[in-house]
Amino acid sequence: MKKTLFEKLEAGLEDIVAYKKGKLTLKTEFIEIPEPPTKYKAKEIKKIREKNNYSQGLFAKVLNVSVKTVQSWESGERVPSHIAFRLLEIVDKGIYPETSKRRGL
């Protein structure tokens, strides 16, 4: 049977009370938070693409953006979003895809 929102909240509050009384130990997990992505300039974006031997069309597919978007980044007309900067960084550092593992290129 699915718990209702109220039942989930009630169980959560009971856990808090049990923890405060020392009757419950909470699980902890440490996660490494990466530094903010590199903010690549237009020429650097083009270098990343060329270093990986990508056409603008293929680069756009890898990054899941349009060819027009890649063109506008490389011309300096537009600046990538923070998410796009992270994707560019992943490609730049050779994390995706590793050259030896590319298929169909």
Question: What does the pLDDT read at residue 1?
Answer: 66
Where are the extended beta strands (E) located within 3-57? none
- Its pTM stands at 0.66
**Per-domain boundaries in the chain:** 42-98
The single-letter DSSP state of residue 102 is -
Long-range contacts of 37-43 (CB under 8 A, 24+ apart): 37/82, 37/85, 37/86, 37/88, 37/89, 38/85, 38/88, 38/89, 38/92, 39/85, 40/80, 40/85, 40/88, 40/89, 40/92, 41/76, 42/73, 42/74, 42/75, 42/76
Instruction: Give me the residue label for tokens 């998410």.
Output: 83
What's domain 42-98's architecture?
Orthogonal Bundle (1.10)
Q: What confidence tier does 105 reach under pLDDT thresholds 50, 70, 90? A: very low
Q: Would you say 60 and 20 are in contact if contact means Cβ atoms under 8 Å apart? A: no
| pLDDT tens sequence across 8-64 | 999 999 999 999 999 998 888 889 998 999 999 999 999 999 999 999 999 999 999
